[in-house]
C-alpha cells in the first residue's frame, strides 16, 4: 500500500466527557468514509486536536482507525509535537500499530523561512 493517491480525509477524534475515545463512533466514521470511496484515512491529521490529546489517546485513535480500515485502505497517522523525541516516539508507536505511513505536521507556532 505504498502507492498513496486520491482522497485521505483528516478524521475528527471523538472523545466523551471523561476523555475516553468513542471507539464505535470513530469506527463507524471510518467505515462510512471507506464506503463512500476514500482512498485512505488520516487520523490526527492536523485538525488541531493533537494538542489536547495525551499520548495514550492519540495511540488509541490510530489503533481504532487501523482496525476499522481492516486493510481496505491505507492509514496515514498524523505526528505532531513541539519535541523531536516525542514526534519520533509517536511515529514508532504508529508504525508498531500498523500505520501505512505518517503525516509529519509542522508546528504553526514557529516561523519558517522560504
Report pLDDT digits (tens) over 2-39.
679 999 999 999 999 999 999 999 999 999 999 999 99
Q: Establish how many alpha carbons lie within 13 A of residue 10's alpha carbon, considering only the half-sphere containing its beta carbon.
A: 11
* Residue 11 domain-assigned (yes or no): no
* Residue 95 domain-assigned (yes or no): yes
* Residue 42 domain-assigned (yes or no): yes
- What domain count does the chain have? 1
Report pLDDT digits (tens) over 42-98.
999 877 777 789 999 999 999 999 999 999 999 999 998 888 899 999 999 999 999
Domain that holds residue 82: 23-104
* Residue 91 domain-assigned (yes or no): yes
* Residue 41 domain-assigned (yes or no): yes
Exposure of 80 by Cβ count < 10 A (0-12 exposed, 13-18 middle, 19+ buried)? buried
> What CATH number is attached to the domain comprising 92?
3.40.50
Amino acid at each position: 500500500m505504498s502507492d498513496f493517491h486520491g482522497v485521505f480525509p483528516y478524521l475528527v477524534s471523538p472523545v466523551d466527557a471523561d476523555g475516553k475515545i468513542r471507539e464505535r463512533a470513530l469506527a463507524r466514521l471510518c467505515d462510512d468514509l471507506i464506503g463512500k470511496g476514500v482512498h485512505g484515512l488520516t487520523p490526527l491529521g492536523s485538525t488541531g486536536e493533537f494538542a489536547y490529546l495525551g499520548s495514550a489517546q492519540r495511540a488509541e485513535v490510530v489503533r481504532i482507525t487501523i482496525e476499522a480500515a481492516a486493510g481496505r485502505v491505507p492509514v496515514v497517522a498524523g505526528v505532531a509535537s513541539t519535541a523531536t523525541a516525542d514526534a519520533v516516539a509517536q511515529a514508532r508507536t504508529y508504525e508498531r500499530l500498523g500505520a501505512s505511513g505518517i503525516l509529519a505536521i509542522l508546528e504553526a507556532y514557529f516561523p519558517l523561512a522560504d
